[in-house]
């Protein structure tokens, strides 16, 4: 009878707990829905005037186009600021570029286990794979996971920071400096919104990185026990086209969010740094994303340039004096952009201006600069492309003049 009574009590407790968990999850989901509905209203109001850049309250923001590698919009994007857990974009990059086998298991150190802030929940001596550490790093923003990765890959936090800064230099990030793998406030640990966008653009080229940051939920295994993780990125799975990347918060950095969005092959990275609240970072990010896709489109700038250049070539000749040829073939030098983002209203304001010499003397080497082509949008210079000789033209020597005179004489005798 006692066994039946205890079993009944356990059953009641189990049912009660399940109901409470379900109620908690339902309430949490409802709160999240209310949160996004409120933000969506603000975004819709900001989007009412399609030509107006939305007002943002984060201290530094940038919208970066991945194809052209250009800034579509920026505010204080070059200001040096603390970056909080967006640091982990670099941490993950260093891990993925230096470890080929992520399935290997590591033992958690005391230093990693004692790291504060947001955590995966590791304890000293825990066994976990590097792959699960990567998910713990990027989904729940585990600072303990960051330190363990640093010690495993770099030998120490300090050694890992050297690797992070070396990569930053390779990427040309002149205003970025790393001290820690997690981003907790430290003197000398900083970046800019623009350089964080450049780093993210690079990191997303790694398929494994792109896969992890686009994961909403994942189950890791610690000491053989499963643990469910949820991504801290509030826009992932909510806003159309969002496929990453990373949140962040410290008292110094405030609220931060790096977002990758892809719609109709138009991929942008949005960075907001220094937001006072989570709501502000979310709203600012959504405003910038919707503004960009409503107002901008990508054009095949290389096609426009080549078509204009070919038309110009049909009527323009560059005469060569004293050469074995009287004129020279020409070509365009390297173009900076193939695809370029442009405001829809500015499509009629693209101007292509071509300037070149019409006379020169031999000898002429291949790739000699003969002029330039300029692309302007609303009188803003977008690119300046060299016009080059596509062949070598040798200067006539005495033999060339001799055979030329024989040819002229033969022609006169006919």
Adjacent-strand bridge partners of 381: 376
pLDDT of residue 327: 81
Give catalytic residue positions.
85, 88, 141
State which H helix or E strand residue 41 sits in: helix 2-46
Those residues with Cβ within 8 angstroms of residue 16's Cβ, 6 or more apart along the chain or in another chain: none
pLDDT of residue 26: 60
Residue 377: phi and psi, rounded to 5, are -125, 115
Report how far residue 303's alpha carbon sits from residue 338's, in angstroms, rounded to the nearest whole number: 8
Buried b (16+ CB within 10 A) or exposed e, 150-176: bbbbbeebeebbebbbebbeebebeeb
pLDDT of residue 361: 87
Q: Tell me which architecture the domain covering 58-296 has in CATH.
A: 3-Layer(aba) Sandwich (3.40)
Report how far residue 49's alpha carbon sits from residue 31's, in angstroms, rounded to the nearest whole number: 29
Per-residue pLDDT of the chain (414 residues; tens, 9 = 90+): 444 444 444 344 444 444 443 444 566 566 666 666 766 666 666 555 656 899 999 999 999 999 999 999 999 999 999 999 999 999 999 999 999 999 999 999 999 999 999 999 999 999 999 999 999 999 999 999 999 999 999 999 999 999 999 999 999 999 999 999 999 999 999 999 999 999 999 999 999 999 999 999 999 999 999 999 999 999 999 999 999 999 999 999 999 999 999 999 999 999 999 999 999 999 999 999 999 999 999 999 999 999 999 999 988 888 888 878 888 889 999 999 999 999 999 999 999 999 999 989 889 899 999 999 999 999 999 999 999 999 898 887 665 555 555 544 454 445
DSSP 191: B
Report how far residue 171's alpha carbon sits from residue 177's, in angstroms, rounded to the nearest whole number: 12
pLDDT of residue 177: 98
pLDDT of residue 373: 97
State which H helix or E strand residue 71 sits in: strand 70-75
* pLDDT tens profile 333-380: 999 999 999 999 999 999 999 999 998 988 989 999 999 999 999 999
Closest CA to 254 of 200, 180, 183: 183
pLDDT of residue 395: 82
Q: Hey, is 342 helix, strand or coil?
A: strand
CATH classification number, 316-399, choose in 2.60.410.10, 3.40.50.10090, 3.60.10.10, 3.30.160.150:
2.60.410.10
Q: For the chain, what are the domain ranges?
A: 1-46, 58-296, 316-399
Q: Is the preceding peptide bond at 363 cis, omega within 30 degrees of 0?
A: yes
CA atoms within 13 A on the CB side of 85: 27
C-alpha dihedral sign at 227, 204, 184, 64: negative
pLDDT of residue 269: 98
Residue 147: phi and psi, rounded to 5, are -65, -40
Sequence-ordered strand ranges (E) for 115-241: 127-129, 217-222, 225-230
């Amino acid at each position: 009878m006692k066994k039946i009574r205890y079993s009944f009590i356990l059953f009641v407790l189990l049912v009660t707990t399940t109901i409470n968990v379900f109620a908690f999850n339902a309430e949490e989901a409802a709160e999240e829905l209310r949160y996004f509905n409120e933000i969506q209203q603000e975004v819709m109001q900001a989007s009412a005037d399609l030509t107006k850049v939305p007002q943002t309250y984060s201290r530094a923001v940038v919208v970066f186009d991945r194809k052209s590698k250009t800034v579509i919009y920026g505010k204080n994007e070059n200001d040096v600021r603390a970056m909080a857990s967006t640091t982990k974009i670099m941490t993950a990059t260093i891990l993925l570029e230096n470890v080929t086998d992520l399935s290997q298991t590591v033992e958690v150190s005391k230093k990693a286990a004692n790291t504060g802030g947001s955590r995966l929940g590791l304890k000293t001596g825990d066994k976990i794979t590097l792959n699960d550490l990567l998910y713990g790093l990027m989904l729940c923003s585990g600072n303990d996971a960051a330190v363990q990765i640093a010690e495993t890959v770099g030998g120490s936090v300090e050694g890992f920071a050297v690797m992070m800064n070396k990569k930053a230099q390779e990427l040309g990030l002149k205003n970025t400096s790393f001290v820690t793998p997690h981003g907790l406030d430290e003197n000398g640990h900083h970046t800019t919104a623009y350089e964080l966008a450049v780093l993210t653009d690079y990191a997303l080229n790694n398929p494994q990185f792109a896969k992890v940051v686009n994961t909403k939920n994942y189950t890791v295994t610690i000491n053989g026990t499963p643990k469910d993780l949820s991504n801290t990125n509030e826009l992932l799975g909510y806003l159309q086209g969002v496929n990453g990347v990373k949140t962040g918060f410290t008292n110094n950095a405030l609220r931060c969010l790096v977002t990758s969005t892809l719609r109709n092959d138009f991929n942008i990275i949005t960075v907001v740094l220094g937001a006072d609240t989570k709501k502000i970072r979310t709203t600012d990010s959504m405003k910038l994303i919707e503004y960009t896709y409503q107002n901008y489109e990508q054009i095949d700038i290389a096609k426009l340039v080549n078509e204009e250049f070919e038309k110009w070539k049909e009527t323009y000749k560059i005469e060569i004096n004293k050469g074995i040829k009287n004129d020279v073939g020409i070509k365009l030098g390297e173009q900076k952009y193939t695809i370029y983002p442009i405001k829809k209203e500015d499509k009629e304001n693209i101007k292509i201006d071509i300037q070149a010499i019409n006379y020169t003397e031999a000898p002429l080497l291949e790739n000699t600069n003969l002029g330039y082509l300029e692309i302007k949008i609303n009188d803003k210079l977008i690119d300046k492309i060299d016009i080059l000789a596509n062949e070598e033209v040798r200067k006539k020597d005495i033999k060339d003049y001799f055979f030329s005179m024989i040819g002229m004489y033969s022609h006169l005798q006919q």
